[in-house]
Amino acid sequence: MTRFAVILLGLFLLGAESSGTAVSAEFKPQEAKLGEPVELTITAKGEEGVEYKLPREIDLGPFVELGRDSKKNGGQYIFTFKLVVYEEVGEVELPGFQLEGEKPLEVPAAKLTIKSMLTGVEKPEPRDIAGPVAVWVSDYRLVVYLGLVLLFAFGAWILRRSRPAVRAERRLVELPPPRLAHQIAYDKLHKIVEDDLLKKGKFREYFIRVSETVREYLGNRYGFFAMDLTSRELVDELRDRPTPGLEIAGLKTLLQDSDLVKFAKLEPTDEMSSSAIDCAYSLVNATRRVEEEPGQQRETA
């Protein structure tokens, strides 16, 4: 029976050679251990002028592909696979497949003998379970902690040495008392008068500085931020607070006159300009804290 199969194979190869095509598949080596890589070489000679290539997906059976390569030498194609078997021993077979081309070529199946990994071992028996092995692990945490403490102590000592010594009587510095709300307002109002903005024709700047000084004073005096409030919002805020001595009507007139000059570009009269600074001084004088000594006040004729 084997001789008959050889004769048939020879006739097949002879017919293939006569038609100008031939395909062979061969493993190197023919035997391998489980998990040992082997190489499969496919040599194909097709019809002249026909290009052949490997299909994208191939049924490899029990084999696992590790890599592939292909090259052409004249009219001969050589395809190389790197394969491995992990789960089966004995005779294993790579199924046949077709090379892609205008006229596909049949690649015959290839067989390989896979041996156990224990082949050749004198006593293929599992070894006894060994007991635990002591492993020395270097632990430098204590050294690191000690080094950090010493470094911190050294840094503190250097900082103390580099800081100039201060005599005991100079260590406590008496800070000046904070400026009071009415003192700040008086200074700004005096500066407005000294700058003589009205004679220079700077009416808008004059009213802006007077109204902002009044707003800042009221905010400092009663504890709220008044600079971003509109004139109406400022008046409403003060009406909700205890403000003894504050004349709301005079403040409202001052704010309205200032808004007309700032936004409506009204040219103020001498009476409006004089009334604005007088109202500002009167407002500060009337609402400053009783226990505080009044600052330098504006002398009026």
Contact 105, 120 (CB under 8 A): no
17 band by pLDDT with thresholds 50, 70 and 90 = very low
pLDDT at 276: 92
pLDDT higher than threshold 70 for residue 298: no
Sole residue written with tokens 């696992």: 64
Residues with Cβ within 8 Å of 281's Cβ and at least 6 positions away in sequence, in order, are 189, 297, 298
pLDDT value at residue 70: 87
pLDDT digit string, tens, across residues 46-88: 777 778 888 888 888 889 988 889 888 877 889 999 999 988 8
Residue, of 4 and 99, whose pLDDT is higher: 99
Residue range 77-129, pLDDT digits in tens: 899 999 999 888 889 998 988 888 888 888 899 998 988 877 766 666 666 77
Tokens encoding 7: 């004769």
Q: How far is CA 176 from CA 15, 179, 186, 259, in A?
A: 117, 9, 19, 37
Evaluate if residue 290 carries a pLDDT over 80: no
Q: How far apart are CA 26 and CA 79, in angstroms?
A: 11
Domains of the chain: which residue ranges? Answer: 13-115, 181-287
d(CA 205, CA 258): 10
The highest-level CATH class for domain 13-115 is mainly beta
pLDDT of 16 over the 60 cut: no
78 conformational bin, left if phi > 0, alpha if psi -120 to 50, beta if neither? beta
Mean pLDDT calculated for residue range 264-280? 91
- So what's the pLDDT on residue 4? 52
The dihedral through the CA atoms of 48, 50, 54, 55 has a sign that is negative
Please, where are the H alpha helices in 123-265? 141-162, 168-171, 181-195, 203-222, 231-239, 248-263
Cα(first)–Cα(last) distance of the chain, in Å?
144
Residue 20: per-residue pLDDT: 61
What average pLDDT does range 196-220 have in this prediction? Answer: 93
Half-sphere exposure of residue 203: CA atoms within 13 angstroms, side-chain side: 19
Stretch 265-273: mean pLDDT: 90
Place of tokens 């840094």: 155
The larger pLDDT score, comparing residue 294 to residue 34, is at 34
Would you state the pLDDT for residue 186? 93
Cα dihedral value 217, 299, 260, 251, nearest 10: 50
- Higher per-residue confidence, 225 vs 177: 225
Does 190 have pLDDT greater than 90?
yes
Strands 63-73 and 76-85: antiparallel
Lowest mean pLDDT among 16-25, 155-164, 252-261, 271-280: 16-25
Q: Is the pLDDT of residue 219 over 60?
A: yes
Q: Taking 50 as the threshold, does the pLDDT of residue 32 lie above it?
A: yes
**% the chain with pLDDT above 90:** 36
Mean per-residue pLDDT over the chain, rounded: 83
Give residue-wise pLDDT tens across range 129-188. 777 878 888 888 888 999 999 999 999 898 888 876 656 555 566 777 888 999 999 999
pLDDT at 236 over 80: yes
pLDDT of residue 259: 92
Q: Which pair of structure tokens corresponds to residue 209?
A: 């500085």
Q: Is the pTM of this model over 0.75?
A: no
